A and B are shown apart, each in its own frame.
Chain A
Amino acid sequence: MVVAGDVFDHHHPSADATRVVYHGLQGLAEAGLEVLVIAGNHDNPRRWDAVRPLLGAHRVHVVPSFRLPDEGGRLVLRGDDGTECEFHALPWIPQRDLVNGDVLMSLLGRAHQQYAHRMEQLIGQISVQPEDRERPQVLVAHLFYAGSAIGGGERTLTAGVTYQVPTAGIPDLLGYAALGHLHRAQRVPGAAPDTYYSGSPLQLDFSEAGQDKSVYLVELEAGVRPRVEALPLDAGRPLLEIAGTIDELAELRKGAGEAWVSVRLRCRRAEPGLADQVREVVPDAVRVVLEPQHTTAPRQRVSVRGLAPREQFARYLQESDGLEPHAALLDRFDELLNEVDAKEPDGAPA
């Protein structure tokens, strides 16, 4: 069982969350599986590292941070039938670990390039050192490949230009690349060999409402293309989005089942207590977002902030009188303002 990162949602998970994960891992191990876990960007590598020996004793192999192949970055796991498979682990690497400080401080474009470039090099390096070429080689990585589809619940920064890695970097030697990070289950287009994101087991964000969640079952054989089958998952509460007026909601809600609901309410305008009314009809409404029908076009506000004082004054006169002020009047305003400014002591705050 390969878990390609993001086991927990953030660095300090609660005791309940920890219990779920450890019991889950234990269950997998007791079912006879060898479990490989790498750390993702949401995980706390030091906590994983602290518990790694204990888990390792129970057939749960954790790679919390980047290791060279001979120092724990490459694992060989044996299946029930005795076949061995080599796994090259590439946990999440933060930008500052790959990009020099001065490059970071300079143009951002260079930082992105350097990160992408070095990631390519790393991938290339670690995966051309197989211990035994007879074994199937698998890359397990937590990263963001350019061109993949974002599920919607990812942290924008980590699924953007800063961290994207070009797909051309995966060497042919590998049989399969098991990727974590993106929530949508997908095959990465334009990448060879077979490169898959397994996606999240649950719908985590309303943008994933309606997405089918699955886990990939992969058969590997050295020298042969793997067979990949998607097994659907339907545990947990799905997410549902409905939209309509408050009267239509009751109807729309039918068939929601256990789903957490996000309501887009069409109404004339915002009123206090509207959310409570909606929750009376839809008790599982996690959020109620308004879609007012008669949206007055947002007041085209030219920010006065950016205007020169002369223009600010002109706007003020226009608002109070309704008339366009004369240029001569504004000239006088400028003249007096210059006189006042000329007397300013040094160092007045801007």
Chain B
Amino acid sequence: MTLCLYGSAARLGRGSVKPLISPAADEMLLRLEFELGDQTYRASRRIRHAGQTRARLERVTSEGDETLADGPSDVNRRVRALLRLDYEAFCRTVLLPQGEFEEFLVGDRHKRREIMNELLRLERYGSVAELARRRQGNAKNRLQNAEALVGEYADATPDARRAAEELVRKQEARASALEKMEREARERVAGADAARGRADALAHMGADLLGHADAAQQLAARHERLRPDHERTERELRDAGKSTAAARAGRERAEAERDRVEREVGDTLAHQDIERAMREASTAEDDIERLTPQHAEAEGTLSKRRTALEEAGRIESEASRQHLDARTASEAAAGAARDASRGREQAKARDDAQRALSGLADQIEATGASLDDAERALAAAEANLAAIGERMRELEHRDHALAVRFTLAEGSGCPVCEQTVTTVPPMPDGLFEARVELEARQEAAEASEVVRRHERDEVQGRLERLDGRREEKRAQLDRLGDAPDLPAAAVAVRDAKRTVKEASGREERAVHRLAGARGAREQADGDVQSAGHELSKLADQIADAKRRAKGAGRVLLAHLGDPLPDDAETALEQRRTLLAAAEQAASSATAAERDAADAERAAREAHDANQAKHTALAGDLRGLVAALRTLYPLVCEQLAGDGLTPPAEPDCPDVPWRLGNDFVAALRDRASVAREAATTFADRAEADLDEVARMRGEVGIEAPKGRTESEQIADALDDAREQRARARADQDQLRRRLQAREAHEVQRVEAEAEHAAWRALAEPLQGSGFIDFVIAEVLDGLCDIASARLREISGDRYSLQAEELNFRVIDHFNADQVRDASTLSGGERFLASLALALALAESVRTAGGGLPAELDAVFIDEGFSSLDAESLDVTLSALETLAQRELMVGVISHVDSVPERISDGFEVVVEHNRSRVRAR
């Protein structure tokens, strides 16, 4: 059962399970069906001598079987999860293996502690303690951080804040006082500047008026000087005009004569043109006759050459098509060559694979032999280990007996048989040494067994790998099965190469042919073009000759009807002489006229200059008058604005002749009034500036170079403002720091509380106090249950008690005498262990958080042979009682009386080389 579920069996300890396979068989098959809750499961396992163990866990339903796990480790894990028991726990609670379940009662107390730890999962509390310590550490860190943060803001106190507020108030008072002063100083300075500006303006105006008076005086003087020149220039201009008119008339007469002579000459010239045109026409007709046959011949040549060109083109395209065919054939041959060579490679690969396969077969054989050796060595080591184990157990039994002997004293009662001891048997020698030696041998044997096991596993692995490779090679061979023979493939390659060479030769020849045809075609093309040129050149010449003939004909037509003179040349000479004389006369008349015009122009210029001076003078006067007219209102305005009475505007004449001394005197008078007003304004400005200087003195700051009084006051104000701003900023920052400090303080308090809380948890969990407490309490509880059971099955005689991980038995039939559990007889020990195992099974159900899996079965493997008939009877009755309490009890025994009491079951029949199971 355990072999099927967990892959382990009690008989084998930690060893391999393969020895359980029948020697003659290759493998063993196990299958277990069990019910859990309302589900049915099936676990199956196949264990082979050579090869991997296979295992499977299925859920059996009416619709079919559902696989839950596959493979040994997967199945083991799943079984553990399903039953909530690992192999060890299973063997303490469900299946009680031969000789082992008494261990819990009388065995080593440290082992008991381990078992309790496992069953109750107490190592969790160790993890919890660790976590609590860590949390405590973290909380401590946080606390320290919070304290440090609070320290950073130590300076932010309420007193500091009050001091900062006081400072801000003082600075504000000082700044506002200075602002008031600065404003006043600025106003005074502005007022002083305005007054000074007025004063300057008025002074300028006075100067302007004086200037204008001087200018008026000068204008009058100039006017006097200009008058006589003006009359003279008018007279001269009139005379010059008369001369110019006379010269013009003479010129016109001379030009009329000259024109008449010119006309006569023109007539003569026209006759020469006609003769020239007749000569031209006859030349052109000769040319045309000569050129026309040449033109026809050139046309014939051109058409012959065109025919030759067509022929050359056809040859060229034929050669091109042949070339294309040759190239296609060449490519096909290359492709065939590639296929042939691939075929050859495949043939080679197949031969290689076959060789490799036969090599592997040899290796596998050799490795199989090594594996057998390794298995034998392992079996020997295991046997040795088992023998030593046996010896150890013997020793332990003996030790136990000797332990009892220690407690004996002459005359006291033996705790085991309750008889009085007469003599205490002596202790044999050499026990301790024997034990030590045996332990050493056991260690060595264990080590050797491990080594052998490793060796065996290694060889096995190697064998499996070789198997795998062989499979690979076989698969490869399959794939290459239809590759051709190597020789056939080589022949194919050779043929293909030959074909390629032929095809490429043909292709070359075709290329040559194509090039030749192309050259011939181009030559024919050139010939055609040159013939064309010749033809067009001749055509042009013929056209030109025709044009010349037409031109000459036109000239002749124009002169049709004119009489031809007798002697055209002489008449022409005469008339040309007359023409020259007439031209001479015309040109001298023209010169005279030009001189007269020049004289007139000079006289006009003089007259205009004089007139301009006059006009300028009049303009100056008008300008002066306009300026005065503009200036006067301004002056009046200025004076009126300051409360001074403006003087009246003087009379101003339009024409310079009328400027008089009164006018000038009036101007000078007005100028002095303006100057007086200017002085008043300047005094006022001075007074303001003195006041400002006094205020600066009040402020009491030292005057740096280059700064005015009011600028200095402004500087003082800036400084005061700056200090005020700084005081305010300081106050703000202090307020913020105070807030931050309070917040950090809150955090520190929290961190402190957190740390204390985690410490309160971590301290009690330190060490094993809590775990010991739980174990002790659980053991007490366990003993309660076990005692109840034990009382039931021992007829109320015995009950169990736990004391520091050891069990004691209370004998109620002997005045509640307390004995160590190891002093019980075989039968009594069986009953006590059984009671304890059942109590454990019940505890597994409910301890450590509850277990959903209900345990309905208990299997007891042997143990009955140590019971006498009376105890056996009691025990079997006890088991019958158990069977009535919702438990299925399975018993494995070779003692005859057991199956006589229990009729349901199986019988194992031992034959020569195997055992068989049949139902009873």
Contact = CB atoms under 8 A, between A and B. Distances in A.
Contacts of A278: 815
A252 interface: no
Contacts of A270: 815-818
A9 interface: yes
A328 interface: yes
Interface in B765-799: 769-770, 773-774, 777-778, 780-782, 784, 797
B89 A337 contact: no
Contact of B849 (A289, A317, A350): A350
Given A290-B812, A316-B773, A340-B128, A306 B846 contact: yes
Interface stretch (A114-122, A129-137, A183-191, A341-349): A341-349
Nearest to A305: B781
Given A96-B903, A320-B769, A289 B757 contact: no
B574 interface: no
Nearest to A290: B816
A10 B815 CA distance: 28
Residue of B774, B851, B897, B903 contacting most chain A CB atoms (<10 Å): B774
B900 interface: yes
A340 to B, nearest CB: 4
B857 to A, nearest CB: 11
B900 A44 contact: yes
Size class of the B contact interface (CB-based, 8 Å) = 35 or more
Interface stretch (B425-433, B529-537, B872-880): B872-880
A315 B870 CA distance: 45
Nearest to B814: A275
Given A287-B814, A349-B89, A337 B761 contact: no
B86 interface: yes
Interface string A86-107: 0000000010100000000000
B121 to A, nearest CB: 6
B131 interface: yes
A11 B884 contact: no
Contact of A12 (B124, B128, B872): B872
Contact of B77 (A289, A344, A347): A347
A313 to B, nearest CB: 7
Interface in A269-326: 270-272, 274-276, 278, 286-290, 301, 303-306, 308-309, 312-313, 315-317, 319-320
B556 interface: no
A157 B900 contact: no
A108 B869 CA distance: 30
Nearest to B126: A340
A348 B818 contact: no
B844 A350 contact: yes
Nearest to B852: A350
B817 A333 contact: no
B873 A332 contact: no
Interface in B789-831: 797, 812-818
Contacts of A350: 84-85, 119, 121, 844, 847-851, 853
Interface string A244-283: 0000000000000000000001000011101110100000
A152 to B, nearest CB: 11
Given A44-B900, A305-B777, A329 B813 contact: no
Interface in B117-166: 118-119, 121, 124-125, 127-128, 131-132, 135
A94 B876 CA distance: 14
Contacts of A274: 815-817
Contacts of B127: 340
A320 B89 contact: no
A9 B870 CA distance: 9
Nearest to A298: B784
Contact of A275 (B769, B815, B870, B884): B815
Contacts of A339: 131
Contacts of B758: 332
B348 interface: no
Contact of B121 (A44, A289, A320, A348): A348
B474 to A, nearest CB: 41
Given A336-B131, A349-B89, A350-B84, A305 B782 contact: yes
Given A288-B814, A316-B770, A344-B124, 14 more contacts: A270-B815, A274-B816, A275-B817, A303-B784, A304-B777, A305-B777, A309-B125, A312-B774, A312-B777, A313-B770, A315-B777, A337-B124, A347-B78, A349-B89
Interface of A: 9-14, 44, 46, 94, 96, 108, 155-157, 162, 265, 270-272, 274-276, 278, 286-290, 301, 303-306, 308-309, 312-313, 315-317, 319-320, 328-329, 332-333, 336-337, 339-341, 344, 346-350
5 contacts: A13-B869, A278-B815, A290-B816, A333-B128, A346-B80
Interface of B: 77-78, 80-81, 84-86, 88-89, 118-119, 121, 124-125, 127-128, 131-132, 135, 413, 757-758, 760-761, 764, 769-770, 773-774, 777-778, 780-782, 784, 797, 812-818, 843-844, 846-851, 853, 869-870, 872-873, 877, 880-881, 884, 886, 897, 900-901, 903-904
Chain A to chain B: the 5 pairs with minimum beta-carbon distance, closest first: A347-B80, A287-B813, A10-B873, A304-B777, A274-B815
